[in-house]
Structure 1
Amino acid sequence: MKNTIHFSGIGGVGMSALAQVAAMEGRPVSGSDRDFDRGRNLEVRAALEKLGIKIFPQDGSGVNDATSELALSTAIEDTNPEVVQAKARGVKISHRSEILAAYVNAFDAIAVAGTSGKSTAAAMTFAVLEAGGLEPSIITGGALGALKERGLIGNAYRGKGRVLVVEADESDGTIVRYKARTGVLLNISKDHKEVPELNKIFGAFAGNCARVIVNADDPAAAGLLPAAERFGLNAGNWKVTDIKAGPFSSEFKVNGVPFRLPAPGLYNIENALAACAAGAAYGVKLEAAAAGLAGFRGVERRFVLVGEKNGITVIDDYAHNPAKIAAVLKALHQAPGRRVLAVYQPHGFAPTRLLKAELIESFAAGLAPADRLLMPEIYYAGGTVNKNISSKDISDAVAARGKSAEFFPDRAAIPAAVASMARPGDIVAVLGARDATLADFARQIFSALP
């Protein structure tokens, strides 16, 4: 029977999430990925196959008599053998964003948007809804620890209920297609795009949602949507008191209900408030939300504790834009007297060029006098790009502002450098995005410690 959906590039975060949900719904699913053909990303392949997804080489053989639809991301070229085969066979070709929008529009969806914190806030919302007994689904860009413990990749799950939590990524502008019941806007700051362009995208997104909740503590988000329902540390129906924000966990009360969150910083308290506000619309009481968040298992590469050795702590975090970096540095400094050794790898030459001034400011203002910044070269994912900027431009500018910053042309030299300078009480923070080797790199740094 011709009803299989084939995902080209199924190993990617966005594609694997959609493929898993389709498979969990009982639809026949197949896929291919260049990394699989090269013997890479095999854990993801195994997890997909465990769900009954058939993996083909990316040579066109996956698009066959059983294929009714070919799903693509923007990374797949028109010359790809599977695209050529689909066109020759008259198979329907759909973009990843179209399929995701169809899920959002078909479910009772909560779409979590904003420049920073989407994956974590979406994961917290999922935890709150599960604690409330709603049996939700989720499609997100980060691997939830709770789902990995169930043997899944972690970025998707199909529950029995009708509520779907989705991370609404603004980077390609496709969130304007979503028609969610509830839209959550966490913040707005310059990242993939300039703020005026982001305002247009988020404004259109909000206009398509039946209900919108906005972070009142973020002036840009609150200013864009002045009539929206609000959450925040000092606003809306969510009164937060008794805050004790530590470097690795937080305690606080919401409307008198005590919360203990195994995640650091005020920004994660804001994420938790967003989850509570979203859950409340579906009848989840604060007491249930508190229970769900107390057991929050985090998101992969979002403030993950790699380990502690001889009084030195190593954490791994996805922070890559100025707002995220500033928030993480602020959270780390909640531990009084502990020096921060920040290892930051920028992702992509174009984003680094766009955010150069803001990146310099985030480190120059966020690093304490005793802190150190170590920077390898900008991560290069391939393709034709203008390489007229270097990590050295950032580190030199931060050093010129009076902070200790050093450029390492050879990333492999950093673990030994960290080991030589680290002392008991230090926190080593590995920061950066997109590069799949960063988590292993953080573990290498930990292993090199004396």
Structure 2
Amino acid sequence: MYKIDFQCPVHVHFIGIGGISMSGLAEILLKEHFTVTGSDSKESPLTRHLTDLGAVIHYGQKAENITDDIDVVVYTAAVHADNPEFIAAKEHQLPMLTRAELLGQLMTNYKTPIAVSGTHGKTTTTSMISHILLAGDTDPTISVGGILKIIGGNIRVGHSDVFITEACEYTNSFLDFLPKIGIILNVEEDHMDFFKDLDDIRHSFHRFAALLPKDGTLIINSEISQYEQIIAGLNCNVITYGIHHDADYTAQNIQYDNMGNVSFDLIDHGTKKDRIFLSVNGEHNVSNALSAIITGTLLGIDLEKIKKGLLSFTGTDRRFEYKGTLDGVTIIDDYAHHPTEIEATLSAAQHYPHREIWCIFQPHTYTRTKAFFHEFAQALTLADHVILADIYAARETDTLGMSSEALSDAIRELGGDSYYFSSFDEIKNFVKEKCIHGDMLITMGAGDVVNIGESLLSI
């Protein structure tokens, strides 16, 4: 496999450079003095930013974009073998790397690469750790799958040997990574268009853990069912954490303030260390914070600086994000698109000031809707009222017999109050009529449902 070496900058071409992850990797290379070109379907703030940094970007993917001076081509999973630039790169016999392979190669240029994995919570936890690293003056390089306010985007290029990134299990891409510190937040069924079953997913996480070197550390949630199987046979150091399960690090005396923000006692191997205050809500964020605290401790960051970093974290883009208030109705947006995430978000919302909770949910992909149909229905009953938008198909074309209307019916069968509308305009008109002063309106899903709340606030 082609090896990226920061000491020998070359010309790298990105097919699909405008994605949030690809653009971040391109920015790292630009700041390490690589020549970067790329292509994408349309201009965006991310591509304009790269152009300002010196990248040359083509809009529209054409064979002539692959020139003789390119040393290596990087492409996303969305690029198929019939892509004209992919074909041209093969014809030129150029070295080619997937996005995940490039990310793994970048890790080898840092002494302490950190990879945050798990079915849920990767962006939030990576962001929490980033705040701790910055509070601890470690000058890290950060690659996060969302917009993080403290760094003004999704990427920060530091000058130390510390690098942190998310590690996604989909298509086993995280198996191309080479971390020194690995984190496993949770392991559940998801991406069933790729994995066969939960055992298949658990096996992938075991393989990810096995990538850690002997002098590396795995931080793992002890509340993962039979987590001992995932860590079996590892040579690295293993540290556990959990809230409702015995672990090396635990949390006790969890409390919420009048805005729903959570605090807890940090218990380190049975000894209370300190009181930790967060500027986010939800028990799931207590769990995320425990893994972040362990990471900071491993890097020698003082607990006071860890606490300062955590307190400064107010959330990331599309994670229980306050969007505004309209006629006394609080509008929140959240990326939750899995039943466990929905349950965590709606449970956290209970601690936030509200009269009633209205949830506009847009299911993400037919595959996921079919795999978790009943679990979605059950989780959504935690809201006082549910409004279903049509399923966001993403990459899929086969409906598998799934529909949001059927999901709405299933919620009502469980005793929930649920409605279905086929257009965003109908949903906006409905909530304008039904939501009253003091209510909370949550737009939820990984598609474009966020546009509903933003449109309401622009009225």
Which stretches of structure 1, 4 residues or more, deviate above 6 A after TM superposition?
none
| 1:239 Cα deviation from its structure 2 partner | 4.6
Mapped partners of 2:37, 2:225: distance in 1: 45
1:230 to 219, 224, 240: 240
1:371-382 superposed matches below 5 A: 371-381=384-394
CA gap of 1:96–1:315, structure 2 versus 1, over 3 A, is: same
CA gap of 1:221–1:411, structure 2 versus 1, over 3 A, is: farther
CA gap of 1:372–1:257, structure 2 versus 1, over 3 A, is: same
Tell me the residue number matched to 2:28.
21
1:73-152 superposed matches below 5 A: 73-107=76-110, 108-148=112-152
Tell me the residue number matched to 1:288.
305
| 1:248 Cα deviation from its structure 2 partner | 4.5
RMSD across aligned C-alpha pairs, in angstroms? 2.2
Tell me the residue number matched to 1:303.
320
Structure 1, unmatched stretches of 5+, are 37-41, 149-153
Q: Deviation per CA, 1:329-381, whole angstroms, max 9, x where unpaired?
A: 100011366311000001111121112122122123x23xxx10001100123
Contact 1:146 1:297 in 2 (8 A): no
CA gap of 1:289–1:145, structure 2 versus 1, over 3 A, is: same
Q: Deviation per CA, 1:368-426, whole angstroms, max 9, x where unpaired?
A: xxx10001100123554345211111111001111101111122211111111111221
Q: Deviation per CA, 1:175-207, whole angstroms, max 9, x where unpaired?
A: 123231111111111111332111101111111
CA gap of 1:324–1:80, structure 2 versus 1, over 3 A, is: same
Mapped partners of 1:333, 1:382: distance in 2: 34
Contact 1:245 1:266 in 2 (8 A): no
CA gap of 1:220–1:408, structure 2 versus 1, over 3 A, is: farther
Mapped partners of 1:326, 1:191: distance in 2: 15
Amino acid at match of 2:282: G
More displaced 10-residue stretch of structure 1: 316-325 or 174-183: 174-183
SS in 2 for 1:172: helix
Contact 2:13 2:73 in 1 (8 A): yes
SS in 2 for 1:142: strand
Amino acid at match of 2:281: P
Contact 2:366 2:399 in 1 (8 A): yes
Q: Deviation per CA, 1:85-106, whole angstroms, max 9, x where unpaired?
A: 2223222221111111212344
Mapped partners of 2:293, 2:342: distance in 1: 25
More displaced 10-residue stretch of structure 1: 230-239 or 187-196: 230-239
More displaced 10-residue stretch of structure 1: 195-204 or 44-53: 44-53
Tell me the residue number matched to 1:30.
37
Corresponding position: 1:424 with 2:437: yes
Mapped partners of 2:206, 2:289: distance in 1: 23
Mapped partners of 1:2, 1:45: distance in 2: 21
Tell me the residue number matched to 1:249.
261
SS in 1 for 2:34: coil
Tell me the residue number matched to 1:66.
69
More displaced 10-residue stretch of structure 1: 409-418 or 397-406: 409-418
Amino acid at match of 1:117: G
More displaced 10-residue stretch of structure 1: 222-231 or 207-216: 222-231
Tell me the residue number matched to 2:331.
314
Tell me the residue number matched to 1:442.
453
Mapped partners of 1:188, 1:62: distance in 2: 41
CA gap of 1:147–1:322, structure 2 versus 1, over 3 A, is: same
More displaced 10-residue stretch of structure 1: 379-388 or 220-229: 220-229
Mapped partners of 2:45, 2:130: distance in 1: 24
SS in 2 for 1:412: helix
Contact 1:187 1:220 in 2 (8 A): no
| 1:172 Cα deviation from its structure 2 partner | 1.1
Structure 2, unmatched stretches of 5+, are 1-7, 267-271
SS in 2 for 1:143: strand
Q: Deviation per CA, 1:243-275, whole angstroms, max 9, x where unpaired?
A: 323565223342443333221111112111111
Tell me the residue number matched to 1:3.
10
Mapped partners of 1:114, 1:187: distance in 2: 5
1:377-388 superposed matches below 5 A: 377-381=390-394, 384-388=397-401
Corresponding position: 1:358 with 2:385: no
SS in 1 for 2:201: helix
CA gap of 1:360–1:121, structure 2 versus 1, over 3 A, is: same
Contact 1:2 1:66 in 2 (8 A): no
SS in 1 for 2:313: coil
Mapped partners of 2:228, 2:123: distance in 1: 20
| 1:318 Cα deviation from its structure 2 partner | 0.4
Contact 2:251 2:286 in 1 (8 A): no
Q: Figure out how many residues of one structure are paired with residues of the other and give that number.
A: 432
Q: Alignment identity in percent?
A: 29
SS in 2 for 1:101: helix
Mapped partners of 2:308, 2:436: distance in 1: 37
TM-score (norm 1): 0.90
CA gap of 1:326–1:221, structure 2 versus 1, over 3 A, is: farther
CA gap of 1:157–1:95, structure 2 versus 1, over 3 A, is: same
| 1:225 Cα deviation from its structure 2 partner | 3.6
TM-score (norm 2): 0.88
SS in 1 for 2:142: strand
Contact 1:340 1:372 in 2 (8 A): yes
Mapped partners of 2:89, 2:330: distance in 1: 51
SS in 2 for 1:184: strand
SS in 2 for 1:357: helix
CA gap of 1:307–1:248, structure 2 versus 1, over 3 A, is: farther
Corresponding position: 1:415 with 2:428: yes
Tell me the residue number matched to 1:39.
none
Contact 2:389 2:421 in 1 (8 A): yes
Mapped partners of 2:90, 2:352: distance in 1: 58
SS in 2 for 1:189: coil
